[in-house]
Amino acid sequence: MEPLDATYPANLRTLAGAPPLFLRGELRPEDTRSVAVVGTRSPSRKGLTQARRLAGELARAGITVVSGLARGIDTAAHLAALDAGGRSVAVLGCGVGRVYPSENAGLAERIALHGAVVAQVADEAPPSAAALRKRNAVIAGLALATVVVEAGPISGARIAARWTTTLGRPLFLTDLVAAEPWGAKLLSRPGVHRLGAGGPEAIIALLAGDPIAPVQLALLLAAPA
């Protein structure tokens, strides 16, 4: 799938150097209304709980959940979206004919049936550090907003966060990320929000374009987790 194809994801076209995509499953027009939910491969129990709750609520609101099929937060987000009856899109750091990590092969099959598995590299290409880094740009590019649930200073999720701000799209950080020095620094930038207990409702309202007052939105975002 090339950037000039009619079926190419509209959100991704705004990414500088938008790449060709290899695909399993189906990208639909409704996947334009999507949110990326990303984070560490080694999450805390609180991080996993937050990822599952957030992805499930987004899916039930008809929002496609985008993530990277990695262990930890990504896996939890994909599973919660599918279990809620929603759609999910997985972006790989290898070819679509090969799943990394291999234990997520079954999950990739579920996603292909209820969404899409996409990659920038040829079908059987193995994972590589370069491809794993580049997939974060695609994750951010496919989504109208990105949520980082839990991530340290050296993390693919941090790369996705940086791409989100570069694209000028809303970035949401949970309290777990806000407690990290890199997260606290990002919160001073326009378009970056701290995600409190009312976060899912705030994201849903933002994507729906509801005429919610800025003060009300700020209260939702600032509500303690």
Question: What does DSSP assign to residue 126?
Answer: P
Q: What is the pLDDT of residue 221?
A: 47
Domain of residue 18: give its range.
11-222
Strands 22-25, 115-119: pairing is: antiparallel
Longest dimension (CA), the chain: 50
Residues 6+ apart with CB under 8 A from 94: 100, 119, 121, 125, 126, 127, 128, 131
pLDDT at 177 exceeding the cut of 50:
yes
Amino acid sitting at position 179: A
Q: What is the mean pLDDT of residues 179-204?
A: 85
Q: Is residue 129 part of a domain?
A: yes
Whether 6 maps to a domain, the answer reads no
Structural domain includes residue 116 = yes
Give, in order, the Cα–Cα distances in Å from 1 to each of 9, 84, 92, 117, 118. Answer: 10, 29, 15, 13, 10
Q: Is 2 within a domain?
A: no
Q: Is 103 exposed, middle or buried (0-12, 13-18, 19+ CB in 10 A)?
A: exposed
CATH number at residue 128: 3.40.50.450
Distance CA 59, CA 34 (A): 9
State pLDDT tens for residues 153-164: 888 999 999 999
- Within a domain: residue 69? yes
Position 104 in a domain: yes
Q: Tens digits of per-residue pLDDT, 56-90?
A: 999 999 999 999 999 999 999 999 999 999 999 99
Distance between CA atoms of residues 133 and 131, nearest Å: 5
Rounded Cα distance, 223 and 218, in Å: 9
- Domains: count for the chain: 1
Q: How many residues does the chain have?
A: 225
122, part of any domain: yes
Question: pLDDT by residue (tens digit) across 98-153?
Answer: 999 999 999 999 999 999 999 998 888 998 888 888 999 999 999 999 999 999 88
The Cα 24–Cα 112 span in angstroms is: 6
Place of tokens 């090969």: 98
> What pLDDT digit, counting tens, does each position of 23-34 carry?
999 999 999 999
DSSP reduced 3-state for 182: helix
Is there a domain that residue 120 lies in? yes
pLDDT over 70, % of the chain? 91
H helix intervals, the chain: 45-60, 73-83, 105-113, 129-142, 156-166, 175-178, 181-186, 199-208, 214-222
